Structure 1
Amino acid sequence: MCVPIAIDISRLGAREYTGTERYTYELLAALAKLDRFRPYTLYSNGLPARLPLLGPNVSLRNIPAPRLWTHMRLGPTALRERPALLFIPAHVVPLIHPPSVVTIHDLGYHMFPEAHTARRRLELELTTRWSLRAARHVIAISQTTKADLVHHYRADPARISVVYHGVQDHFTPTEHGQHLAPQLRQRYHLAQRPYLLYVGTIQPRKNLVRLLEAFAQALPHLEEPPLLVLAGREGWLSSAIVARTRALGLEHHVRFPGYIPDADLPALLRGALAFVFPSLYEGFGMPVLEAMACGTPVLTANGSALREVADTAALLVDPTNTDAIAAGLLRLISDAHLREALRERGLARAAMFTWERCAQLTLAVLLENIQLASFA
């Protein structure tokens, strides 16, 4: 009988899913479709908020703990039950553990320390160093993240495999163009105006103050200005972003609808005039691909993994240059031919990223390291 592969699914206990939760959920769903025979044990801290459809070869082990779950519960339990391998899709390898593979998503805390509290920076620094040392192998979600790990931590590149995210199937274009259902317009206070959409945490690293300043700079040049919709849950120092909106006199042009549920997000992306994401640093940039998959033209930053993911399918701007962002916004808003060209290129680009391929490559990494562990 095969020894199970263990997977840490503690991220699925979150009430609202963002990057790491979506990655864990979609990868698990794709693995369940791909491999229906090899046994898997899923370790959770409390019952997950939701789970994808799983086969009879997958079992759930709920081992709750109020604090230090990774080190006090996951590690000792996995070591005692001796899985073939422990896979951690996000964050930290337990202090005591069986042979493990971990996914490291980005080094945002290292690139932009001011976007985190001092305590959180120290925690991320120590856990990243530990995971790099303790894991048998590391999965990075982009070449950018891999290069950052090699540069800043002198990680062995031979121990790091790049496996890109995919795009969920419900992010698709529509035949009705930018039509948005009246109930969604009412729910998110969008009136009957076109809108530019950003989706992500409201925090300084996302470069939203410069985006607001660029939007204010562009407004006088527009006869019928669109709304700017900044959607996402509040993060570190989000109040300064809201305050800058008021200081610029943009209250009637900017919306902060909060976290957008998965059920509404594709429709809001399809209905947008353009998607704007000039983040200062990303380890991948999933919202960019989701917008492209919906047929929405994209403006994004020309650095970090955003250039790597968008390639030539988005309008790339210098995220540190407010004038450049403003010029990009004006081009997107005023040039219908540019928007159509970006739409076509974006659809083709997004089609290259699938969760099926992510699962195939991830499983290959896991199986290779199970084999290596058996010879160790």
Structure 2
Amino acid sequence: MHIGIDASRMAVAARTGTEHYTYELLAALAQRDTRSRYTLYCNQMPAALPPLGSNFALRRIPFPRLWTHARLSGELLARAPDVLFVPAHVVPLGAPALRRTRTVVTIHDMGYIHFPEAHARAHRLYLRLSTAWSARVASHVIAISGATRDDLVRHARVPAEKIQVVHHGVAPRFRPCPPEAVAQARERHGLAGAPYVLFVGTVQPRKNLERLIEAFAALGEAERAGARLAIAGKLGWLTQAIEQKAAALGVAEHIRFLGYVPDADVPALLTGAAAFAFPSLYEGFGMPVLEAMACGTPVLTSTTSSLPEVAGDAALLVDPRDTAAITAGLARLLGDAALRADLAARGMRRAAQFTWDACARATLPILLGA
């Protein structure tokens, strides 16, 4: 069996959701499948690759623009694999012409439907057309959550029987870190001393950071207990209002914008946090919730989209559109040590149910056509 994989996401050094998914799934597939032949297609050399077996080959096919639809399509037409796996949304335009090649695509979310204002009009149109088209022409669709599956059925009219939900895993590096590692990471990122509530994710409107800052600002001095709010993540779009909110509310000295935090530091910062706050308005999966749980950090998250599906009964769930509810949830977490300990224990048990090996174990039969 020859499996071709669009590995173009591997060129991104500062990995976020889809890049982490591609990297971790490749690593797990390499451990689980030593018989199939894999070709990884890319435009640029990958920033990093996991350990791969001799049955994996890298095929670099550079092209200046429209790489997926022009260059990758041409490569597939010339040397078609038995299966084409697209780990992130966009199936090449040439794929339907591959009569003997099955196509499997992973759809991570349909955020452009729920938050159209977060995208320029042309980009929103492209996402709507390319995601729906990719899901329809693919032989099989992997959705990373039941929420994404439901969106595909409702908004893209993809038959439910064509979709299989395969959850992400949690990388082994997410585990409680020793005190010295925590202290060093806190020092590097200006968080030494006072306790802190942590958010990790791209800074953009659908992460609901304006409401999180408003909720934090509404805490009384006693409720805040000297804690700061630390926001870790690269800047996305429409971020100016988010950054200005803290100053407007007079709490800028209590809020730290850390920017993009290297992967190696994230587990230690999670371990050191008094609580993890992720009141996002919409997520295809919500990986940061599980990563915080795996580090033994109590979690506050939302009642919307995939987040209850991921968190189960191991997090404090709040209505993300209700600032008072977020404030009350933060006050409970910061003020109740027993609740924090209970959520930390339940969170670690919950996170242990999500592994990349389990993701590969569920994905491989789809690729092999079993």
**Is 1:121–2:121 an aligned residue pair?**
no
The Cα offsets for residues 150-203 of structure 1, whole Å up to 9 and x where unpaired, read as 111221001001000000001112465xx7644322321113010100000000
- 1:15-30 to 2 correspondences below 5 Å: 15-30=13-28
Measure the CA separation in 1 of the matches of 2:248 and 2:181. 30
Measure the CA separation in 2 of the matches of 1:174 and 1:228. 20
Contact conserved, 2:177 with 2:267, CA < 8 A, in 1?
no
Contact conserved, 1:234 with 1:258, CA < 8 A, in 2?
yes
Measure the CA separation in 1 of the matches of 2:120 and 2:280. 19
The Cα offsets for residues 230-263 of structure 1, whole Å up to 9 and x where unpaired, read as 1000011011100111101121100111111111
Measure the CA separation in 2 of the matches of 1:180 and 1:42. 35
Measure the CA separation in 2 of the matches of 1:202 and 1:169. 25
Seen in structure 2, the aligned counterparts of structure 1 residues 329 and 223 have a Cα distance that, compared at 3 Å, is closer
Measure the CA separation in 1 of the matches of 2:129 and 2:352. 37
Measure the CA separation in 1 of the matches of 2:77 and 2:337. 58
State the one-letter code of the partner of 2:356.
W
Measure the CA separation in 2 of the matches of 1:324 and 1:220. 18
- TM-fit CA distance, 1:219: 3.7
Measure the CA separation in 2 of the matches of 1:340 and 1:220. 23
**Is 1:93–2:91 an aligned residue pair?**
yes
Question: Of residues 165, 174, 195 in structure 1, which corresponds to 2:168?
Answer: 165
- 1:132-143 to 2 correspondences below 5 Å: 132-143=135-146
Partner of 2:158: 155
Aligned-residue sequence identity (percent) comes to 58
- TM-fit CA distance, 1:300: 0.2
Partner of 1:283: 284
Measure the CA separation in 1 of the matches of 2:224 and 2:323. 21
CA RMSD of aligned residues (A): 1.3
Seen in structure 2, the aligned counterparts of structure 1 residues 275 and 152 have a Cα distance that, compared at 3 Å, is same
Count residues with an aligned counterpart: 365
Question: Of residues 58, 63, 66 in structure 1, which corresponds to 2:64?
Answer: 66
State the one-letter code of the partner of 2:53.
G
Secondary structure of residue in 1 paired with 2:263: coil
- TM-fit CA distance, 1:221: 3.9
Secondary structure of residue in 1 paired with 2:253: coil
**Is 1:242–2:240 an aligned residue pair?**
no
Partner of 1:35: 33
Partner of 1:144: 147
**Is 1:192–2:190 an aligned residue pair?**
no
Measure the CA separation in 1 of the matches of 2:216 and 2:350. 27
Seen in structure 2, the aligned counterparts of structure 1 residues 223 and 32 have a Cα distance that, compared at 3 Å, is closer
Partner of 1:374: none
Measure the CA separation in 1 of the matches of 2:131 and 2:215. 35
Contact conserved, 1:196 with 1:272, CA < 8 A, in 2?
yes
Contact conserved, 2:41 with 2:61, CA < 8 A, in 1?
yes
State the one-letter code of the partner of 2:143.
A
- 1:65-84 to 2 correspondences below 5 Å: 65-84=63-82
Secondary structure of residue in 1 paired with 2:218: helix
Secondary structure of residue in 1 paired with 2:256: strand
Question: Of residues 110, 120, 131 in structure 1, which corresponds to 2:113?
Answer: 110
Secondary structure of residue in 2 paired with 1:76: helix
Contact conserved, 1:219 with 1:225, CA < 8 A, in 2?
no
Measure the CA separation in 1 of the matches of 2:192 and 2:160. 51
Gapped regions of structure 1 (runs ≥ 5): 372-376
- TM-fit CA distance, 1:143: 0.5
- TM-fit CA distance, 1:225: 2.4
Contact conserved, 2:7 with 2:41, CA < 8 A, in 1?
yes
- TM-fit CA distance, 1:55: 0.3
Secondary structure of residue in 2 paired with 1:23: helix
Partner of 1:305: 306
Partner of 1:274: 275
Q: TM-score, normalised by structure 2?
A: 0.96
Measure the CA separation in 2 of the matches of 1:90 and 1:102. 7
Contact conserved, 1:43 with 1:61, CA < 8 A, in 2?
yes
- 1:362-373 to 2 correspondences below 5 Å: 362-368=363-369
Partner of 2:5: 7
- TM-fit CA distance, 1:83: 0.3
The Cα offsets for residues 298-353 of structure 1, whole Å up to 9 and x where unpaired, read as 00001110000001000000000000000000000000000000011101100100
Secondary structure of residue in 1 paired with 2:219: helix
Measure the CA separation in 2 of the matches of 1:165 and 1:144. 13
Contact conserved, 1:180 with 1:268, CA < 8 A, in 2?
no
Measure the CA separation in 1 of the matches of 2:120 and 2:327. 30
Secondary structure of residue in 2 paired with 1:100: strand
State the one-letter code of the partner of 1:102.
V
Runs of 4+ with deviation above 6 angstroms? none
